Amino acid sequence: MSVPKPSLQLVAEVLEGQARSLSRLISRAEAGEVECRPALAEVYRHTGRAHVIGITGVPGSGKSTLVRGLALAARKSERKVGVIAIDPSSPYSGGAILGDRIRMNELNSDPGIFIRSMATRGALGGLARASLDAVDLMDAAGFDIVLLETVGVGQDEVDVVQATHTTVVVSAPGLGDDVQAIKAGILEIADIHVVSKCDRSDANKTITDLKMMLGLGLREQTTWQPPVVPTSGETGQGIEALLTTIDEHRAYLQQSGELAKRRRQTAEMRMLKTAEDILRQRFVGRRDGVAAELLEQVIARDIDPYAAAQRLLAALHEGEAK
Amino acid sequence: MSVPKPSLQLVAEVLEGQARSLSRLISRAEAGEVECRPALAEVYRHTGRAHVIGITGVPGSGKSTLVRGLALAARKSERKVGVIAIDPSSPYSGGAILGDRIRMNELNSDPGIFIRSMATRGALGGLARASLDAVDLMDAAGFDIVLLETVGVGQDEVDVVQATHTTVVVSAPGLGDDVQAIKAGILEIADIHVVSKCDRSDANKTITDLKMMLGLGLREQTTWQPPVVPTSGETGQGIEALLTTIDEHRAYLQQSGELAKRRRQTAEMRMLKTAEDILRQRFVGRRDGVAAELLEQVIARDIDPYAAAQRLLAALHEGEAK
């Protein structure tokens, strides 16, 4: 597939690190524009340099403050930092958490930091696909570190955060039992644990509880033992230590061969998620044909949704062949 | 597709309302067993009688307590109640929130209540598909009301709760800003709002804030205006009123023609989600062939994940045709 000239120009500008062109291509990827796929395919060839860090944790754990602190800390060593914040958005209006984003935007005056929030819940673009396209674009644009922030609930969010090199799971003192229980589900994906808000008096209990849970966990033993790093957004404590730990994890990934394994997993996940996206788009595009007929049969209870899905897939294939 | 004799026996027992057979078929559906599809297809023909109620809200909003109260209230009018609790589970170990489930299990001594928790995050069974198979099974088994409880974050969870007849969104006083903001995203899907824990002194502020948000919302005007029902798990206040409101909503759905519209939406969602599931299974089954080759090309950056997905879909079709 050849890349049209205007897109080729845009790709060249992204590779030079031009923020406006980067922003434009991210928007087009987020919108699920099929026309920008050749440009993104070209961009993909220039990826693989950035260290991608997933930051996840339950609502209220202080992820955004941590991401802000990490970005500023990385700037001290002259590294360029890209930030992608995935918003838990409305299925209808695509609303975002405004407060956090406004605080983030303060960072935007530094040209070495590029911030983008994604609120993709649309029919055309899957959350995972669009976020990882944005990671590719920032990577190709020369950002040394890409921070991908997401709420740690929901399969899509877990998939995205597992597509990073280093996964940081944020815990915080003072959250309710129900919230803590949800957190338990994502502890296992952590390469590094952070206990935020450690200026609070009850933070030590959270750290102790967390260490106990990790000790009791069924996590597969590897040579990398996920450390627990206490941080505080108030005092700035622990942010430098966290960045150092992230760099140590990166070195471990490269030396152990784990990096290649993760790249494989990520490539597999992306290919499959994208196949699902394409399938959904084809279905939406054929609402008036076979799909509509099958739908009527499901509504009338002549066939069940599973049988309808099988016939739909078969019909889509036949349509392709024509 | 003919239904094998042992399965046909199981289906007959489910239709008679036998709890053990119901439980067995739900487990098989949850495991994603292809062999039980003919049985589920037969079950699907006997659905459409139950009123299915989705209960959603952020962690800590008191959903489980509410579900428990509703189940007991519905039993007073001799209605049979099925409960499906979708757990935010680990992507690895499929862990569940034990505390809530244990509290729920107290209800299990009443044969008019059937409780099932789903922790499906497996490769074979999609969360949406398995949960809605369980709804079908309870519906066909003669349960008058099916309560489907899920955390209101993540696209899968939103899809499932929107596949019900009446969606109840639970808010609670005293949750953090971050949690409240996430809640804002699901307010729009509510047919009925509940403010739980209204025995607390700060509950009035939550009710006022919620009503203000709803007044300012962009929700499409329909003849049904989602009411706000205050409840308390402590005092039992509002539970009967909530059940009455749910019954009123059901009557509205039937009279307005909205029920048919929702059934159409649900059928469409189920067919598509299932098609995605089938696609994933086919991919998993073909890891050693075309998919593996494509994967190597993606890892080597010869092609991007999007192009690989397109080729994968084409290859899967060809495989089908053979």
Residues A70-98, mean pLDDT to the nearest whole number: 72
Q: Which residue type does B281 have? A: Q
Lowest mean pLDDT among A137-151, A217-231, B38-52: A217-231
The more confidently predicted of residues B315 and A5 is B315
Q: Is the dihedral angle over the CA atoms A180, A186, A188, A192 positive or is it negative?
A: negative
CB < 8 Å to A299, chain B: 263-264, 267
pLDDT at res. A268: 85
pLDDT band at A3 (very low <50, low <70, confident <90, very high): low
pTM comes to 0.70
Q: In whole angstroms, what separates CA A169 from the centre of its chain?
A: 13
Chain B residue nearest residue A302, CA to CA: B45
Q: Alpha-carbon distance A237 to A35, whole Å?
A: 46
CB < 8 Å to A127, chain B: 155
Binary contact (B92, A121; C-beta < 8 A): no
> With contact defined as beta carbons under 8 Å apart, do B264 and B246 qualify?
no
Interface test with A, best of B7, B92, B93, B284 (most A CBs within 10 A): B92
Interface test with B, best of A102, A268, A286, A316 (most B CBs within 10 A): A268
- Measured between CB atoms, which of B91, B99, B321 is closest to A158? B91
Q: Which residue type does B239 have? A: I
Q: Alpha-carbon distance A124 to A101, whole Å?
A: 24
Least Cα separation, residue B302 to chain A (angstroms)? 7
Least Cα separation, residue B267 to chain A (angstroms)? 6
Binary contact (B97, A182; C-beta < 8 A): yes
List, for residues B64-91, the tens digit of each pLDDT value.
889 999 999 999 999 999 999 886 543 3
Q: Alpha-carbon distance A293 to A295, whole Å?
A: 5
Q: Is the pLDDT of residue B2 over 90?
A: no
pLDDT band at B97 (very low <50, low <70, confident <90, very high): very low
Q: Which long-range contacts does A34-40 make (Cβ < 8 Å, 24+ apart)?
A: A35/A7, A36/A7, A37/A1, A37/B306, A37/B307, A38/A1, A38/A2, A38/A3, A38/A4, A38/A7, A39/A3, A39/A7, A39/A8, A39/A10, A39/A11, A40/A133, A40/A136, A40/A137, A40/B304, A40/B306
Q: In whole angstroms, what separates CA A129 from the centre of its chain?
A: 9
Q: Alpha-carbon distance B2 to B11, whole Å?
A: 13
CB burial class (10 A; 0-12, 13-18, 19+) of residue A300? exposed
Least Cα separation, residue A130 to chain B (angstroms)? 11
- Measured between CB atoms, which of B154, B184, B295 is closest to A271? B295
The more confidently predicted of residues A170 and A214 is A170
pLDDT at res. B186: 72
Interface test with B, best of A302, A306, A310, A312 (most B CBs within 10 A): A306
pLDDT at res. B183: 57
pLDDT at res. A128: 77
Q: Alpha-carbon distance B219 to B222, whole Å?
A: 9
Q: What is the mean pLDDT of chain B?
A: 81
Interface test with B, best of A65, A189, A196, A271 (most B CBs within 10 A): A271
Sheet holding A228-230, edge to edge: A113-118, A81-86, A145-151, A51-57, A166-171, A192-195, A228-230
Share of chain B above pLDDT 70, in %: 78
CB < 8 Å to A305, chain B: 44, 129, 132, 267, 270-271, 274
The more confidently predicted of residues A165 and B207 is A165
Share of chain A above pLDDT 90, in %: 41
Least Cα separation, residue B274 to chain A (angstroms)? 6
Chain A residue nearest residue B92, CA to CA: A188
Q: Is the pLDDT of residue A69 over 90?
A: yes
Q: Is the pLDDT of residue A309 over 60?
A: yes
Three-state DSSP state, A79: coil
ipTM tops 0.85? no
**Beta-carbon pairs below 8 A across chains A and B:** 232
B102's tokens: 């244990």
Binary contact (B155, A153; C-beta < 8 A): no
> With contact defined as beta carbons under 8 Å apart, do A207 and A178 qualify?
no
Report the 10 Å Cβ neighbour count for A16.
11
pLDDT band at B289 (very low <50, low <70, confident <90, very high): confident
Chain A residue nearest residue B182, CA to CA: A88
> With contact defined as beta carbons under 8 Å apart, do B30 and B124 qualify?
no
Nearest Cα neighbor of B47 from B146, B166, B148, B149 is B146
List, for residues B132-167, the tens digit of each pLDDT value.
999 999 999 999 999 999 875 566 677 788 889 999
pLDDT at res. A107: 67
Chain B residue nearest residue A48, CA to CA: B301
CB < 8 Å to A321, chain B: 317, 321
pLDDT at res. A145: 97
Q: Residue for token digits 């290649």?
A: A260
pLDDT at res. A297: 92
Packing angle of the helix pair A290-299, B258-285 (nearest 10 deg): 120
CB < 8 Å to B167, chain A: none
pLDDT band at A279 (very low <50, low <70, confident <90, very high): confident
Lowest mean pLDDT among A4-13, A54-63, A181-190: A181-190
- Calculate ∠ Cα A150-A156-A159, nearest 5°: 85
Lowest mean pLDDT among A87-91, B117-121, B281-285: A87-91
Q: Is the pLDDT of residue A25 over 80?
A: yes
List, for residues A102-140, the tens digit of each pLDDT value.
455 566 678 899 998 886 554 344 777 888 999 999 999
Q: Which residue type does B241 have? A: A
pLDDT at res. B202: 87
- Domains of chain A and any CATH numbers: 48-256 (3.40.50.300), 286-321 (no CATH)
Half-sphere exposure of B91 toward its Cβ, with a 13 Å CA cutoff? 16
- Measured between CB atoms, which of B181, B271, B320 is closest to A295? B271
Binary contact (A309, B45; C-beta < 8 A): no
Least Cα separation, residue B228 to chain A (angstroms)? 20
Binary contact (B268, A218; C-beta < 8 A): no
Least Cα separation, residue B155 to chain A (angstroms)? 7
Chain A residue nearest residue B44, CA to CA: A304
pLDDT band at B321 (very low <50, low <70, confident <90, very high): very low
Q: Alpha-carbon distance A171 to A214, whole Å?
A: 13
Nearest Cα neighbor of B4 from B47, B44, B37, B45 is B37
Q: In whole angstroms, what separates CA A12 from the centre of its chain?
A: 25
Chain A residue nearest residue B130, CA to CA: A306
